[in-house]
Amino acid sequence: MSFRIVRFIVVCCFLYAALALNVRGQLGVASNGNKTTYRQLIFSTPAYREAAITVLLKEANLLAAELHSEEKLPIVRRDLAEVYIAPPRIGSGMKIIGTIATSNYVYAPYAGRSFSLVRSHLQREYDELRLEYSWPRMRMDTNSAFQLACELLGAAGMDVAGLNRNCRCSINAFTPEGTSGQHFVPLYWISWIDGEAPKASTEIFMPTKSLRQMQVLDPRYIMRKALAVPNAELLLSQTNRYK
């Protein structure tokens, strides 16, 4: 999944949220007593954007260190391939700040709603791994994959004990030949599901013990501190004629 696809999904969520709020008449009331308009809702300032990028960069560096990822640390502005910062009023309502991407990962850190970390060129790498790695099925080791997934979730500050206690775990390997094939790629998807609702998932590549995806959708299982842009209202008040 490329960063552009991730950004497209995020933007669609923002627009849907704004439309839903507008339809329900819940856009809020400005200081003059009038309802907040859509233009006001999506308003931001360069100062807010810069502060938000700083917050996301700091968290990305922390995550890369905790997970021992292949990122060259520290990650700095020039390392960012893409940046998307949510309009702050919509972001505040949805409890998200935005996403940043390096050549390795797309980061959508926890700001109160969910957590996501995804390889920047995920789909292209599937094709590469399928061509390079084709192991006999007898080498499949779901137990080791599960253990590594738990270790990575724990290193990222997730409630692994809670997920294992409250959810059923599903483990699947990449089998390009189908489930009855004789070979597989040592790439595993480990998911935690409560009823029909997915709560967390990881994708790991066992030969390098590397993380390719981590998503936690239920904030009850995220023990990281929720991110926030400091002095957001002050930053928005600078040249903010819609406040």
User: Would you call 29 helix, strand, or coil by DSSP?
Assistant: strand
User: Mean pLDDT, the chain, as a whole number?
Assistant: 87
200 in a domain, yes or no?
yes
At a CB cut-off of 8 Å and minimum separation 6, what does 122 contact?
A: 1, 2, 212, 213
Q: Are residues 180 and 128 in the same domain?
A: yes
Give the N- to C-terminal CA distance of the chain in Å, as an integer.
37
222 in a domain, yes or no?
no
Q: Structure pTM?
A: 0.84
Q: Are residues 105 and 127 in the same domain?
A: no
Instruction: Report the C-alpha gap between 54 and 58 in whole angstroms.
Output: 6
232 in a domain, yes or no?
no
9 in a domain, yes or no?
yes
Q: Are residues 177 and 74 in the same domain?
A: no
Q: Is the dihedral of CA 231, 232, 238, 242 positive or negative?
A: negative
Q: Are residues 127 and 158 in the same domain?
A: yes
Q: List pLDDT tens digits, range 133-144.
A: 999 999 999 999
User: Is the backbone of residue 231 left (phi > 0), alpha (psi -120 to 50) or beta?
Assistant: left
- Beta partners for residue 174, in sequence order: 185
Q: Are residues 97 and 131 in the same domain?
A: no
Q: Are residues 147 and 57 in the same domain?
A: no
Instruction: Report the C-alpha gap between 118 and 229 in whole angstroms.
Output: 23
84 in a domain, yes or no?
yes
pLDDT bracket for residue 243 (50, 70, 90): very low
Q: Are residues 73 and 29 in the same domain?
A: yes
Residue 15 has pLDDT above 50, yes or no: no
User: Would you call 174 helix, strand, or coil by DSSP?
Assistant: strand
**pLDDT (0 to 100) of residue 219:** 97
Among 55, 88, 114, identify where a domain stops: 114
User: What tokens does 223 get?
Assistant: 């023990």
Q: What would the 3-class secondary structure string for 185-202 be?
A: EEEEEEEEEECCEEEEEE
Q: List pLDDT tens digits, range 42-91.
A: 899 999 999 999 999 999 999 999 999 999 999 999 999 999 999 998 89
- Residue-number span of the structural domain to which 41 is assigned: 3-114
Residue 220 or 242, more confident = 220
60 in a domain, yes or no?
yes
**pLDDT (0 to 100) of residue 25:** 43
**pLDDT (0 to 100) of residue 110:** 96
Q: Are residues 8 and 49 in the same domain?
A: yes
| Cα–Cα distances in angstroms (integers) from residue 230 to residues 6, 49, 222, 234, 236, in the given order | 25, 12, 21, 9, 11
**pLDDT (0 to 100) of residue 33:** 55
Query: What average pLDDT does this structure show over 157-175?
Result: 97
Residue 176 has pLDDT above 70, yes or no: yes
- Beta partners for residue 121, in sequence order: none
Q: Are residues 130 and 187 in the same domain?
A: yes
Quote the percentage of the chain above a pLDDT of 90. 73
Determine which helix (DSSP H) or strand (DSSP E) holds 73, and give its type and residue range. none
56 in a domain, yes or no?
yes
pLDDT bracket for residue 93 (50, 70, 90): confident
Q: Are residues 27 and 90 in the same domain?
A: yes
Among 85, 114, 143, identify where a domain stops: 114
Instruction: Report the C-alpha gap between 48 and 242 in whole angstroms.
Output: 15
Domain count along the chain? 2
Instruction: Report the C-alpha gap between 128 and 182 in whole angstroms.
Output: 19
Q: Are residues 134 and 205 in the same domain?
A: yes
Query: What average pLDDT does this structure show over 154-166?
Result: 98
Among 114, 140, 166, identify where a domain stops: 114
| Cα–Cα distances in angstroms (integers) from residue 112 to residues 30, 40, 95, 195, 226, in the given order | 25, 23, 5, 23, 5
